[in-house]
Structure formats: structure tokens, C-alpha cells
């Protein structure tokens, strides 16, 4: 068996994700991060300048690595990666960090977030379940997270109950998410159908904001702001395939609606399957204040099924 080693010259090239570091230096820092997290009893996934820790005691913690990367890159100390990583992670995984927050800081940091509940390993599923306020779609749930300057931590409801009234904290998290969405910089794209299939159209809303996939909690209000010409009278077809993307389309009738379903469902599945930070590969309907899931997707077989509700079937039958 043969193994291909990265050439020495390639290891000295700039790393594409960690600014100011060579590939070799970045690999050393990533290794130090994974080692330290493993020593503490957790696991770490790194995606660009973000890390996601799943930990038995601290739950799920999302890390912003930008400052750590900058500090290590600028340090002249030969053990900077190890020493700075240790202090950074110890601060992030301090079990008393939440309890140490004053009430104002806790209320300001809480957010609602829509999170996936399928395709998770047991540890991930347990963490999401512990923070779940309620199910949202067939494959997602509304959870609570604590958003600070350095990390976003999934918050078990039992831990929050020991701090304050849970209903009050949930209302604060909802209010904070609402403010996040109002303040988010949104890039809107219209994706038209073809001449032969004009109904195969939809819109996408993209942002660097961490909570765009949670927009469906306030779907009608946000669409009225971001796409005021969109007709919401019959409901909305929507998808949140990744953390930073929302897809939406008006509910119409006849062939136009059928073409819309046939376009949006595979697009959502493709983006979720191939993109980073997947949330849901499925298509959903919002109508009369209720959310229903309209598709299923087998990622292994890449098999997609669209299952319109009786309400949509009735509209499709209209000429």
C-alpha cells in the first residue's frame, strides 16, 4: 500500500482557511485543537474558521476561531499553538461559564435556533434533544443556544431552569432571534423558471448571519420585509437547506404550483447534501400558521420523494 505525502513546498504555502499561516502551521493548530478537545472528553469538527464541539458535559459549542488563529499566527513562541489552544478551549469549556453570567448577559445571549434532528450520532442527538423547545418540521426542532462573543453553545433546558423561569428565557430567546433577523444583511436572488416550465421558480435569501435557517419561526413577517411583492395569501413553500440559506416560493395553483414543487424540492436536497452546515434537505409548507413537510430524502440512495398535502393537491387540480 502506498501513501502520498504532501510535498514540503506545498506545506509551506499559505493555508486557504487560516489567514497568516502556512499549511503546516495550520495543520499543527488544528491538531492541537482536536487533541485538547479529546482530552476534555469531547469531539471537534473544523469548518473554515469555525469549530463545532460535541461534549458530554457542555453540550454543543460552536467556536469562532478567528482570534485564536490570528494570535497563533502573530506569536513567535515555538509552542504557541499548544499553549494558546489550551487557554482558549479551557475558557470556552468552563463548566461554570453560564452560571457565572449575570442575568442581563444571559438574557442578551440567548437565541432560538432551528437545528437538524436526523442523521446525528447519539451524542449529537442527545445534546439537541436536551435543548429542544419543540419540534418544528419532520427533521428539525427549535432549540435554545447561548450566543457570546467567542462561541455559540447549545443550552440544555434543565440547566436554564436552574437559572430562571424557562418560559421567560424562551421569550427572550425568541425576541433576540427576531432582532438578529431584522438586523441581518440579506442577499436576495430570484431564480426564474424556463420558457417551457415558468412555474419552476423560487427565491433564495442568503446571509452570513448564523440564524438565517431559523427565519421560518418568523416566516411571514420576514418575507414581507425581504420580498414584499411575494403573494403569501395561499401560504409559502420554503426550505432551509443550510444555516445561511432560505428558499421560498408563493403557493399558486395548477401546473404552475406543480412545477414549483418539482423545482424547489431537488434544489433544497442538493444544497443540503453538498453544502456546509446542513439543516434540512426537505421542502416544507407554511399555511394558516401551520408547518408541514412535503418531501423525503434518502441521502445514501439520493432518492427524493415529494408528498403534497391534500390542500396542495386541491390547488394543483385547479386550472
Question: Over the stretch 218-245, which tens digit does the pLDDT of each residue have?
Answer: 999 999 999 999 999 999 999 999 999 9
The predicted structure's pLDDT at residue 95: 44
- pLDDT tens-place string over residues 112-164: 999 999 887 676 788 889 999 999 999 999 999 998 776 788 888 988 888 88
The predicted structure's pLDDT at residue 96: 41
Give the residue-averaged pLDDT of 309-313: 97
Give the residue-averaged pLDDT of 62-80: 82
Contact 38, 51 (CB under 8 A): no
pLDDT at 179 over 70: yes
> Higher model confidence: residue 200 or residue 3?
200
pLDDT at 94 over 70: no
> Higher model confidence: residue 276 or residue 215?
215
pLDDT at 42 over 80: yes
Burial grade of 157 (CB within 10 A; 0-12, 13-18, 19 or more): middle
Indicate the average pLDDT of the chain: 88
pLDDT at 265 over 90: yes
Nearest Cα to 236, choosing from 263, 260, 255? Answer: 260
Give the residue-averaged pLDDT of 242-251: 96
Nearest Cα to 306, choosing from 284, 273, 274? Answer: 284
Nearest Cα to 148, choosing from 69, 214, 94? Answer: 94
- pLDDT tens-place string over residues 3-35: 455 555 677 889 988 988 899 999 999 999 998
The predicted structure's pLDDT at residue 30: 92
pLDDT at 1 over 50: no
Question: Percent of the chain having pLDDT more than 90?
Answer: 55
The predicted structure's pLDDT at residue 99: 54
Give the residue-averaged pLDDT of 32-49: 87
- Per-residue pLDDT band for 83 (boundaries 50, 70, 90) equals confident
pLDDT at 76 over 70: yes
Distances (CA, A) of 12 to 4, 95, 128: 17, 38, 40
- Per-residue pLDDT band for 78 (boundaries 50, 70, 90) equals confident
Q: Name residues whose C-beta falls within 8 Å of residue 63's C-beta, 6 or more positions apart in sequence.
A: 50, 51, 52, 53, 92, 150, 151
User: Strand pairing of 284-287 and 140-147?
Assistant: unpaired
Amino acid at each position: 500500500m502506498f501513501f502520498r505525502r504532501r510535498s514540503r513546498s506545498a506545506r509551506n504555502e499559505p493555508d486557504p482557511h487560516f489567514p497568516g499561516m502556512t499549511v503546516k502551521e495550520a495543520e499543527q493548530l488544528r491538531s492541537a485543537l482536536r487533541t485538547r478537545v479529546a482530552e476534555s472528553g469531547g469531539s471537534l469538527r473544523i469548518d473554515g474558521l469555525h469549530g463545532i464541539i460535541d461534549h458530554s458535559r457542555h453540550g454543543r459549542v460552536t467556536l469562532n476561531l478567528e482570534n485564536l488563529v490570528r494570535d497563533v499566527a502573530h506569536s513567535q513562541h515555538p509552542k504557541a499553538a499548544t499553549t494558546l489552544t489550551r487557554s482558549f478551549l479551557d475558557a470556552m469549556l468552563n463548566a461554570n461559564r453560564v452560571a457565572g453570567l449575570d442575568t442581563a448577559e444571559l438574557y442578551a445571549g440567548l437565541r432560538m435556533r432551528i437545528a437538524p434532528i436526523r442523521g446525528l450520532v447519539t451524542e449529537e442527538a442527545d445534546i439537541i434533544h436536551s435543548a429542544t423547545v419543540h419540534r418544528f418540521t419532520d427533521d428539525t426542532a427549535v432549540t435554545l443556544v447561548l450566543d457570546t462573543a467567542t462561541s455559540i453553545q447549545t443550552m440544555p433546558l434543565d440547566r436554564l431552569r436552574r437559572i430562571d423561569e424557562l418560559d421567560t428565557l424562551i421569550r427572550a430567546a425568541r425576541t433576540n432571534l427576531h432582532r438578529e433577523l431584522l438586523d441581518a444583511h440579506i442577499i436576495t436572488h430570484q431564480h426564474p423558471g424556463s420558457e417551457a416550465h415558468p412555474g419552476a421558480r423560487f427565491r433564495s435569501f442568503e446571509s452570513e448571519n448564523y440564524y438565517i435557517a431559523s427565519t421560518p419561526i418568523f416566516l411571514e413577517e420576514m418575507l414581507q420585509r425581504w420580498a414584499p411583492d411575494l403573494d403569501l395569501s395561499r401560504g409559502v413553500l420554503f426550505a432551509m437547506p443550510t444555516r445561511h440559506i432560505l428558499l421560498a416560493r408563493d403557493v399558486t395553483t395548477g401546473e404552475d404550483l406543480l412545477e414549483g414543487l418539482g423545482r424547489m424540492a431537488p434544489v433544497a436536497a442538493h444544497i443540503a447534501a453538498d453544502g456546509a452546515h446542513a439543516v434540512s434537505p426537505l421542502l416544507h409548507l407554511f399555511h394558516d400558521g401551520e408547518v408541514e413537510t412535503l418531501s423525503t430524502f434518502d441521502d445514501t440512495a439520493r432518492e427524493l420523494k415529494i408528498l403534497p398535502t391534500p390542500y396542495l393537491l386541491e390547488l394543483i387540480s385547479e386550472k
